[in-house]
Chain A
């Protein structure tokens, strides 16, 4: 079972959820996962788009009341 890093970026205006995700992916091993919590819909859409573009793996996006949870697996 791979380890999962949690980033609670709710209400974080700078650098924001996607920048945090990019940074976190650099700090983990291939196969490990990052979960980003975001309060803005923009990131919930941006993240899957970016992940597909660079070739990481989307594990899931879930709306949880007032925020989104986005889980990504480092693939390379």
Chain B
């Protein structure tokens, strides 16, 4: 009997796992001893980090997408057929079209999604750039904005810990370039008592904000937005007036995870080293959908996916465990339109970002293109 590997989710981590396994198990696949199936929601693969550039008109929308079929190795069975129920006891996954898939190894890679609807008034009163529709609307709102108070509002939990700071720096530069620097006041709000979850990044941002005249409000967890009065209120009792509200909405994991009883709010309890779903050694969890207390970022998803590839391949070919995940996260940080920096850390090494430079900014721009090679498993 062929060993069946089933991957739910064809985003960043699902794609890397599928392509990586294809490469490592090429021989077994040729012999018909292994099959790899991916269940996805769309025929297009979206490069999410590219969304950051959409509000500023700095990327063509076509650059954000590739055909999912072309990003995946030809030998992978790919179905645009979202999972509707995952039964880890019976080892089957049911889908929207009514099919049922069984598996020997299951990989959960369903990511996270924004929930502006979870905060009263947020959907009506706020802009965001975490999906294409939102990013387009924000682009139009920015183009029409001639001055006033902008609030950049960050909510927990959210993916890509650096995007909120990046958009803040980019907004500042964007308005200065349009000659509106003295007409725009930016206030950045953050859920905890500093400007960024990573302490060194939070410290580094303080003088940068001062230099640019960006205001901040820490310990700000959004209670409600009043779209009519243009006010945003925090659980901590602070109310801010805005003319333009840009939010990073709170996130949840996928609906199918919660509906299948695999984790509250869609976050799957996951062993931080083995990446097994707690309590089952045939189910692996990668990317944003784990409940591991580390950054929900593309790099996290990528390093986790590499670990899962090595382990599933090794279990199938040699019946042995290959290696544990070490908690590695790596992030580029845009510090303006022309400079950037980066930071990395793992479970045992603390982060230590270097000084921003133009070269690192170029590297991030280059990565925006290299992504497609990386998703194919070529990088």
Contact = CB atoms under 8 A, between A and B. Distances in A.
B203 interface: no
B161 A15 contact: yes
Contact of B345 (A5, A9, A14, A19): A14
B373 interface: no
A12 B294 CA distance: 6
Contacts of B219: 50, 53
Interface string A31-56: 00000000000000010001001110
Interface in B168-220: 191-193, 197-199, 219
B197 A15 contact: yes
B345 A18 contact: no
A54 B345 contact: no
Interface residues of A, number: 24
A60 interface: no
B351 A16 contact: no
B235 interface: yes
- Overall SS of chain B's interface: loop
Contacts of B191: 18-19, 22
A50 B193 CA distance: 9
B227 interface: no
A37 to B, nearest CB: 10
B192 A16 contact: yes
Contacts of B235: 54-55
Contacts of B161: 14-15
Contacts of A62: none
Nearest to A11: B347
A4 to B, nearest CB: 12
A58 interface: no
Interface string B103-127: 0000000000000001000000000
Given A12-B293, A53-B236, A18 B192 contact: yes
A18 to B, nearest CB: 5
Identify the 5 closest CB pairs spanning chains A and B, nearest first.
A27-B265, A23-B157, A15-B197, A12-B293, A54-B235
Interface of B: 118, 156-157, 161, 191-193, 197-199, 219, 221, 235-237, 250, 264-265, 267, 272, 293-295, 327, 329, 345, 347-348, 350-351
